[in-house]
Structure 1
Amino acid sequence: MKHADFNQQLIGFLNASPTPWHAVASMKQMLDEAGFEALDEKEDWSLESGKGYYAIRNGSSIVAFRTGKRATDQAGIRMVGAHTDSPCLKVKPNPELRRKGYLQLGVEVYGGVLLNPWFDRDLSLAGRVTYLDDAGKVQDALIDFRKAIASIPSLAIHLDREANSNRTVNAQTDLPPVLMQVPEGDNTRFSDILKDQLQSEHPGTQARKILGYELGFYDAQPASLVGLKDDFIASARLDNLLSCFIGVRSLIDASGEEPALLVCNDHEEVGSMSAEGAQGPFLASILDRWCGAGRGRSLARSMMISADNAHGVHPNYMDKHDENHGPLLNQGPVIKVNHNQRYATNSRSAAVYRHISDELGLPYQTFVVRSDMGCGSTIGPLTAGNLGVTTLDIGVPQFAMHSIRETAGARDGVTLYQALREFMQWKTLF
């Protein structure tokens, strides 16, 4: 696939996926169009050789797989992992704030948000709403306002002379977005706003009562190519929807001859400990039902590539990287190494990826954090520990990780896609 075609598809995916639920819905649509069959965890499964399947949990995590032409205990499984969630501001259960004629919403910080860039942005709102319908049934629906409905205005520098030298953000008092002006005595409820939005997006929906929601604000500016020569792609949620898109595209486009799997978990940004997170039982449950009694032998022959973005060397902050391990944008995906097991990469898993890339003539890089700095982590060590499977941590290098708008190289995504597609049809792993 050409860089231009890949990036246009990626931009469409990013713009359609403002929340984990929307991201999973986008991946489901891609899988359905490719002929994959949906599985229900509540029902019996009858899996066939050479077919594609997927299962969704909580609407925000998905496991998709191809059974391949060989049994898993003989061929092993070529697995790729990513995560669907991104740091953001989520609406509190009782959010209405009325101050000086402005209606604001209280928000909770989700994950390790870089807070300062959220000020003075055009914000929209999306997520899942749970409601009681006219028949007395509890239903779920996705909503996305799709336009700028709020902002978090900065305090003018005239009122904060230290803003450029000593600015801190109080997550409780500084972050409530402003939605609109309201007259004195206004009693607008957020639940009424949600009912109207449900009716607008899902005509015919009759919500008797809003029972709950999981909604997050997001940057209304769409993803785009940037740079004088379109060297970069800028978007919200590149960490880690970029890897989700690469993973699902790789699984769909692989030959299907070998057993292959993609797992995209929710809640990575907050530790992964949930029913649908990487520390939960979702993936293990799918493997039990697919592999049966041969699961142990299957995993011994398998490998997981955990794809989560890496820190590219920022030209204004070069001293934040080890001098021999500073990944550059558009110079290839980054093999992430940490001998304290914050990343699960070992010499064997790295060798498999290097060998595949060398065979295809694709570039790659290596990242090791400075020895005097702490190292982040991702789903790789969690999956390796839970399943006992050989694992590699890798990712596309980017700037501004966990900001409201991040930047990656326009050529690195398709490079990782080419490598992962080949990995998913590679004949012999070990």
Structure 2
Amino acid sequence: MAEKKDEIKKLKEKLLVQHKNGYHVISDKMFKACDKFCEGYKDFMNKAKIEREAVIYSIELLKKKGFVEYEKGMALKAGDKIYRNNRGKSVIASIIGTSPIEKGVRLCAAHIDSPRLDLKQNPLYEDTELALFKTHYYGGIKKYQWTTIPLALHGVIVKADGTSISVNIGEDENDPVFCVTDLLPHLATAQMQKPLAKGITGEQLNILIGSRPFKNDEESGSVKLAIIDILNKKYGITEADFVSSELEAVPAFKAKDIGFDRSMIGAYGHDDKVCAYTALIATAECKKPKHTVVTILTDKEETGSDGNTGLRSSYLEYFIADIAAALGSDGRTVLSASECLSADVNAAFDPTFPEVNERNNSAYINHGVVVTKYTGARGKAGTSDASAEFTGRVRRLMDSNNIIWQTGELGKVDEGGGGTVAAYIANLDVDTIDLGVPVLSMHAPYEIVSKLDTYMAYKAFEVFIAD
């Protein structure tokens, strides 16, 4: 009887998909490596909350690793490490491989923008002796989640004379923070009877920034005047300078370990900085790759990838064309022979809300990096849907390198769906598939990822670009 059970067990392991928690598989050595890697990731998350800061962080790291800024026409050879800064909001890092460039590149593409509140062009106003900022939310958010949490202000202000001023208020322990107010339960009877999506409207996402009037001035607008006076003394700006600014309100939370076992990380912006950081580190540490490596950290994914820093722009295509020409080929030939991991997150199964997921095709915390063959919604609209051949190649690559991985979809067929940058790269005639980290509470001000899954994403990008 025991022999029969053992035979059945072996047959199941051979023939059936085995869903295993990664912690049942990894060694003590890998366990420690995972935790150590994630300390660096938490530092990145605290220093790079917006896309501009992520670009600055990335370029500083790349320079330390020997990368130099690329200029069109620069002579290139195998082993050269280059980067291109696109308007301070996206960056491409590349290492020239030993194989001819016409053999294609190994491309990793992640985005470094996250849902947030953007200040309007004329944001500052006063109402009943309170000063506030008007905002326009960026990306898909649940508006009610952004009330009554501490907010920091990040970004840049370009003054009338062209001077650029970086802003970062709310991250230092001695900084003030800001917040969006909400109704007390005692007066919220009507509000709480509304559908959840309408409990807070976009125009109610006003950020409280001050209440002290200017000196002894009792005229209307004195609180607003006091605020702009503070900003003028600190930054030398006037109210008109808000028109040429990009100021983003983001949660003032720090990245912290989650759980008694410290197995997870809570932070703002895991989507998609968890994939951006892992791909960046894998690229920065890569030595003598066979194929040319191109890793892009892009902007604007959360709003559809439009604009000259998003991947619907031609800047990636132009970069490939430039390095192809420098190496005696052409962009079209290189792209057609290339492969891409579209590095973006997927939704982790949440046992508190099981009804929105189909369990056999959901991603799970601690089950490794997620390979997502297709995204899209309602009939796979908006997806590139990777071919069986390329999916099989990625599957073999993961298995042969002992990468803990899983598959996943973004909810039930008629429940969820979403997009990544995969379609825009696939449209360039590049074999492309999504690969990333499962996230709990995605698009919330405080998201959660597993340390093990994060480390497996890094290892996946590492073996892909070295293959």
**TM-score > 0.5, shorter chain as reference:** yes
Q: Which amino acid letter does the alignment assign opposite residue 21 of structure 1?
A: R
Identity fraction in percent:
22
* Contact map agreement 1:114 1:404 (CA 8 A) in 2: no
Q: CA deviation at 1:221?
A: 1.3
- Give unmatched runs, 5+ long, in structure 2: 1-29, 375-379
Q: Which amino acid letter does the alignment assign opposite residue 245 of structure 1?
A: Y
2:80 is matched with which residue: 48, 51, 63?
51
Q: CA deviation at 1:333?
A: 1.1
1:297-316 aligned at under 5 Å gives the runs 297-316=333-352
Alignment partners' CA distance in 1, 2:141 and 2:101: 40
Cα distance change of structure 1 residues 172 and 367 upon mapping to structure 2, 3 Å threshold = closer
The reply to whether residue 332 of structure 1 matches residue 332 of structure 2 is no
Cα distance change of structure 1 residues 123 and 148 upon mapping to structure 2, 3 Å threshold = farther
Alignment partners' CA distance in 1, 2:126 and 2:240: 23
Q: CA deviation at 1:371?
A: 2.5
Q: Which amino acid letter does the alignment assign opposite residue 430 of structure 2?
A: V
Alignment partners' CA distance in 2, 1:131 and 1:39: 29
Match of 1:263 in 2: 296
Match of 1:26 in 2: 57
Alignment partners' CA distance in 2, 1:359 and 1:281: 35
CA RMSD of aligned residues (A): 2.2
Match of 1:7 in 2: 38
- Give unmatched runs, 5+ long, in structure 1: 200-205
Alignment partners' CA distance in 1, 2:39 and 2:384: 31
Q: How many residues are treated as equivalent by the alignment?
A: 412
The reply to whether residue 142 of structure 1 matches residue 166 of structure 2 is yes
1:91 is matched with which residue: 119, 124, 131?
119
Alignment partners' CA distance in 2, 1:11 and 1:196: 34
Secondary structure, counterpart of 1:378 in structure 2: coil
Q: Tell me the alpha carbon deviations over residues 203-253 of structure 1, each in whole angstroms, 9 at most, x when there is no partner.
A: xxx999836111111111101111110121100010011111011101011
Alignment partners' CA distance in 2, 1:197 and 1:241: 31
Deviates more, 1:407-416 or 1:187-196: 187-196
Match of 1:203 in 2: none
Cα distance change of structure 1 residues 224 and 182 upon mapping to structure 2, 3 Å threshold = same
The reply to whether residue 214 of structure 1 matches residue 246 of structure 2 is yes
2:308 is matched with which residue: 268, 275, 280?
275
Secondary structure, counterpart of 1:424 in structure 2: helix
Q: Which amino acid letter does the alignment assign opposite residue 315 of structure 2?
A: F
* Contact map agreement 1:232 1:408 (CA 8 A) in 2: yes
Q: CA deviation at 1:341?
A: 5.4
Q: Which amino acid letter does the alignment assign opposite residue 337 of structure 1?
A: K
Alignment partners' CA distance in 2, 1:66 and 1:314: 39
Alignment partners' CA distance in 1, 2:399 and 2:92: 29
Q: CA deviation at 1:418?
A: 0.7
Alignment partners' CA distance in 2, 1:196 and 1:36: 39
Deviates more, 1:213-222 or 1:343-352: 343-352
* Contact map agreement 1:254 1:422 (CA 8 A) in 2: no
Cα distance change of structure 1 residues 328 and 407 upon mapping to structure 2, 3 Å threshold = same
Alignment partners' CA distance in 1, 2:233 and 2:276: 32
Cα distance change of structure 1 residues 281 and 189 upon mapping to structure 2, 3 Å threshold = farther
Alignment partners' CA distance in 2, 1:367 and 1:116: 28
1:175 is matched with which residue: 198, 201, 205?
205
Match of 2:423 in 1: 381
Alignment partners' CA distance in 2, 1:143 and 1:394: 33
Q: CA deviation at 1:173?
A: 3.6
Q: CA deviation at 1:412?
A: 0.6
* Contact map agreement 1:344 1:384 (CA 8 A) in 2: no
Alignment partners' CA distance in 1, 2:233 and 2:405: 49
Alignment partners' CA distance in 2, 1:398 and 1:300: 32
Deviates more, 1:116-125 or 1:360-369: 360-369
Deviates more, 1:15-24 or 1:145-154: 145-154
Q: Tell me the alpha carbon deviations over residues 124-174 of structure 1, each in whole angstroms, 9 at most, x when there is no partner.
A: 1001221245xxxx2334221124421112210000135556443443442
Alignment partners' CA distance in 2, 1:161 and 1:238: 35
* Contact map agreement 2:143 2:202 (CA 8 A) in 1: no
Secondary structure, counterpart of 1:4 in structure 2: helix
Q: Which of these two proteins has the greater Rg computed from alpha carbons?
A: 2
* Contact map agreement 2:346 2:437 (CA 8 A) in 1: yes
Q: CA deviation at 1:373?
A: 2.8
Match of 2:377 in 1: none
Q: CA deviation at 1:176?
A: 0.3
The reply to whether residue 131 of structure 1 matches residue 159 of structure 2 is yes
